[in-house]
Structure 1
Amino acid sequence: MQLVIENLSKTYNNGVRALDNVSLTIPTGMYGLLGQNGAGKSTLMRTLATLQDADSGTAMLGDLDVLNQKEAVRRTLGYLPQEFGVYPRVSASELLDHFALLKGVINGRERAQLVEALLNRVNLYDHRKKAVSSYSGGMKQRFGIAQALIGDPQLIIVDEPTAGLDPGERNRFYNLLSEIGENVVVILSTHIVQDVMELCNNMAIIHQGRVLYGGTPTAAVAGLTGQIWAKSISKSELPTYQQIHTLISSKLVAGKPLIHILSDVDPGDGFTAAQPDLEDVFFSQLRVRS
């Protein structure tokens, strides 16, 4: 099973072109969609989740036409949006039972077995009687994955799932997503580079509605070998280096900016060769294409 997207475009009524001829081939497994806030990631996710229409283009999940066979797609789709609301006093078991009923699991015994199995899978069974509204951020996201798994979906979409999670909750969520992604198409939309590096075998970088890169994180990083140079400078020097170099990132280390620049040759001036990482790939793509 794979998802093939070709020339997908979407322009909102205010004139914002959120998707600009997006073409991607997304295989089974974890696929990272990396981009800044406002890059078009959520528009693409909502379109694939059949929540809004595209202006043009196609999206095929196997033999299913995602844009025109919405009911059939919904039966094989699991979706965890960036934010989802819950009833304030409803327990996890009750709410998951309700979602299962909405997904067409009519038989009560079958539904009870499914709810128990899903809560065990996301390690929430011991908390099944608590209101979901009382859960921590990580527990809510694991509950969100549980509801997304109802119906054995072939496509699972998760939109910014680890934003706001502490490191322990993030690691538990990583492990759960990795397990799920072994057999189905899982699209992970995020602006957090670490999420993609740790979870995904394939990825795309999207910016201003356009795909800047599509491929593996490993190949993307390898493509910058010998081109990333680092130097620690004073804050007052930063504007000068921005003018004379292709500066792709700056972060404070011990109170001083550590800058990374993009150059095919040794720039001298105290710069040292740096081992590129996916963050360098991300920022270099944005810098070069802007």
Structure 2
Amino acid sequence: MALHINNLSKTYSNGVQALKNVTLTIPQGMFGLLGPNGAGKSSLMRTLATLQQADSGSVTLNDIDVLKEKDKVRKLLGYLPQEFGVYPKISSYNMLSHIAALKGISNKGERKDLVESLLKKTNLWDVRNKSLGTYSGGMKQRFGIAQALIGDPRLIIVDEPTAGLDPAERVRFHNLLSEIGANTIVILSTHIVDDVSNLCNNMAIICLGEVVLQGNPISLTEGVKGKIWKKAIEKSDLEQYKADMQVISTHLKSGQTIIHVLSDVQPDPSFESSPANLEDVYFSEISSRMDSALA
């Protein structure tokens, strides 16, 4: 099974072009979609989840036309949007049971076993009878994950799924995704580079509505190996460094501003080589594009 996206475009009524001829092939397994806020990730996810219509292009899931055969897609789809509401007065147990019934799981015993399994997988078993309105943000996120897994979906779309999760919950969620990703297409849309680095064998970077890079995270990281240089500078000197070099990222450490520069050769003796990682790949691709957009 594979998802084929070809020249997909979407412009909203306010004139914002959210997707610009997006073309991707997403195979079975975990696929990471990286991009900054406003890159077009959620627009792409909503289109794939049949919640909005594209202006042009095509999407196929095996022999299913995703843009036209929406009912067929929904039978195979599990979706966790970035933001979702809950019915505040119903328990997670009853709500999951109701959703399972809507998805066609009519056998009460089968439905009971499924709901109990999902509640345990998402660490909600102990609060299964509490109303959803009393749940914390992280608990609601885990409930969202549980409902996305109902019905043995063949395509699972999760949009910024680790938002609101504490470190232990995040690790648990990663393990769950890895388990289900072995036999399913799982699209993980996020701006957290480590999530993609830890989980995905395939990925793409999207920026300003366009796919700017795609491939295997390890192979992509090899492409910048030996080209990343770092240096601690005064914050007041940052703009000058940006003018003179390709500064791809900055961060504070112990009160100092650390810059990462992409260069085939050592910029000057004051720079030291830095081991390349996926974050360097990500920032090297989006930094110049975002700067140009803001100029």
**With structure 2 as the length reference, what TM-score do the two structures score?**
0.94
Q: Which amino acid aligns with 2:85?
A: G
Partner of 2:96: 96
Partner of 2:251: 251
Given that 1:138 and 1:170 are in contact with CA atoms closer than 8 Å, whether structure 2 keeps it comes out as no
Partner of 2:121: 121
Given that 2:141 and 2:164 are in contact with CA atoms closer than 8 Å, whether structure 1 keeps it comes out as no
Given that 1:138 and 1:173 are in contact with CA atoms closer than 8 Å, whether structure 2 keeps it comes out as no
Partner of 2:70: 70
User: Structure 1 residue 125: deviation in Å?
Assistant: 2.4
Given that 2:249 and 2:287 are in contact with CA atoms closer than 8 Å, whether structure 1 keeps it comes out as no
SS in structure 2 opposite 1:25? strand
- What does 1:39-54 correspond to in 2, within 5 Å? 39-54=39-54
- What does 1:102-141 correspond to in 2, within 5 Å? 102-141=102-141
Partner of 1:152: 152
**Deviations, residues 107-145 of structure 1 (Å, cap 9, x unaligned):** 333322322232233332232112223233333222212
User: Structure 1 residue 269: deviation in Å?
Assistant: 4.1
Q: What is the CA–CA distance in structure 1 between the aligned matches of 2:121 and 2:277, rounded to whole Å?
A: 33
SS in structure 1 opposite 2:211? strand
Given that 1:229 and 1:272 are in contact with CA atoms closer than 8 Å, whether structure 2 keeps it comes out as yes
Partner of 1:18: 18
Q: Which amino acid aligns with 1:56?
A: S
SS in structure 1 opposite 2:43? helix
Q: Percent identity?
A: 62
Q: What is the CA–CA distance in structure 2 between the aligned matches of 1:208 and 1:228, rounded to whole Å?
A: 24
Partner of 1:5: 5
Instruction: Write out the 4+ residue segments of structure 1 that deviate beyond 4 Å after TM superposition.
Output: none
Q: What is the CA–CA distance in structure 1 between the aligned matches of 2:53 and 2:139, rounded to whole Å?
A: 32
**Deviations, residues 126-180 of structure 1 (Å, cap 9, x unaligned):** 3211222323333322221221111111000000111232212211111111111
Are residues 1:281 and 2:270 paired?
no
Q: What is the CA–CA distance in structure 2 between the aligned matches of 1:128 and 1:270, rounded to whole Å?
A: 58
Are residues 1:61 and 2:61 paired?
yes
Q: Which amino acid aligns with 1:176?
A: L
Q: Which amino acid aligns with 1:284?
A: S
Partner of 1:264: 264
Partner of 1:34: 34
Q: What is the CA–CA distance in structure 2 between the aligned matches of 1:287 and 1:83, rounded to whole Å?
A: 27
Q: Which amino acid aligns with 1:180?
A: I
User: Could you tell which deviates more after superposition, 103-112 or 152-161?
Assistant: 103-112
Q: Which amino acid aligns with 2:255?
A: G
Partner of 1:176: 176
Structure 2: where are the runs of 5+ without partners? none
- What does 1:200-215 correspond to in 2, within 5 Å? 200-215=200-215
Given that 1:19 and 1:40 are in contact with CA atoms closer than 8 Å, whether structure 2 keeps it comes out as yes
Structure 1: where are the runs of 5+ without partners? none
**Deviations, residues 74-101 of structure 1 (Å, cap 9, x unaligned):** 0000000112111112111111011112
RMSD: 1.3
**With structure 1 as the length reference, what TM-score do the two structures score?**
0.96
